[in-house]
Structure formats: structure tokens, C-alpha cells
Amino acid sequence: MTIFLGVDGGGTKTQFVLVDRDGNLVAAHEGPSSYHLEIGIDGLRDVLSDGLAALFRQARIDGGAIAYGFFGLPAHGEDSAAQALLDAMPEPLLGHRRYRCGNDMVCAWAGSLGGEDGINIVAGTGSIGYGERRGRSARAGGWGEVLATKAPPTGSRCRA
């Protein structure tokens, strides 16, 4: 059986799923926040390790059975100091490099549009937009709550 891994990280919870080639759910697990800016790199490693272990126990497999995985991590691509650590973190947990890491916004886009061309916008504490068209991707915003809550400079005006 061909099995794919999806990890949708977030500030509140982290969803782990395994699906087969036809998109059927094989196993699922929900873990705590994976926001490394709050829980630290070691905390993120623990969340991923514990979540994958629970998922693999359910499915009675190990990481080697995963054909490919995607790790959607909050703040991925926003912290250059942590980027290499985030991208390398799944390898020892899976035992291979058949995965990719990206911003958790990619999970929102894929889930809302089924991987088809289009744009997904999230507006909450912060805001981010991500889209894909004809194999090309673009994103705007998503620079965290620090910038999202910063007041505009004195004298600035918004134009509609």
C-alpha cells in the first residue's frame, strides 16, 4: 500500500494524517501547538516525534513506509535563523528525505481548493494569502502577529 503523510501545524493544534493512494484515511492524530516561536525548536521536535509515533502505532507502520510527506509548519519561511533546522527536522523522525516542509498556509490552500489552481486567504490575528496557478506559487503576508498588530506610522492613511 502506498501511504502519504500530512502534517498541518498550527498555534493551537497540529493535525497528523496518513492517507492511501486513493485519499482514504489510514490514521489520524491531533497534537498540541507546533509554533516553534512559542514552544522552541526542541518543543517542536517533541510535538512532531510524539505525533508521528502515535500515528505510526495506529497504522502499524514505521516512517520507512511513507512514500512522501508534507509538513506544514507555522512560521516556516519567516525565520531565516530557524529555516535549516525546520527543513531537516523530519528526516531523523522518518528515516528518509521523502518529504517537504512548507508554511502551514499551504495546507489551508490544498485543503480548501483540493490542490487546484486558486488563492486561499486567512485573516485572523495575522493575515496571509497563498495561491498556486499552473505550477507556480505565490504568497503575501504571514509575517506573524508582531507585524499584524503593529500600529501604522503616524500620519499614514489607508486608501480603499
Among residues 82, 127, 134, which one has the least CA distance to residue 105? 127
Say whether 41 sits in a helix, a strand or coil.
helix
pLDDT higher than 50, residue 159: no
For residues 48, 106, 121 and 21, what is the CA-based torsion angle, rounded to 10 degrees?
-100
**pTM to 2 decimals?**
0.84
Among residues 86, 93, 29, which one has the least CA distance to residue 62? 93
pLDDT digits (tens, 9 = 90+) for 127-147: 888 999 999 999 887 766 555
Who wins on pLDDT, 18 or 156?
18
pLDDT at 127: 81
pLDDT digits (tens, 9 = 90+) for 9-59: 998 999 999 999 999 999 999 999 999 999 999 999 999 999 999 999 999
pLDDT higher than 80, residue 67: yes
Confidence of residue 99 (pLDDT cuts 50, 70, 90): very high
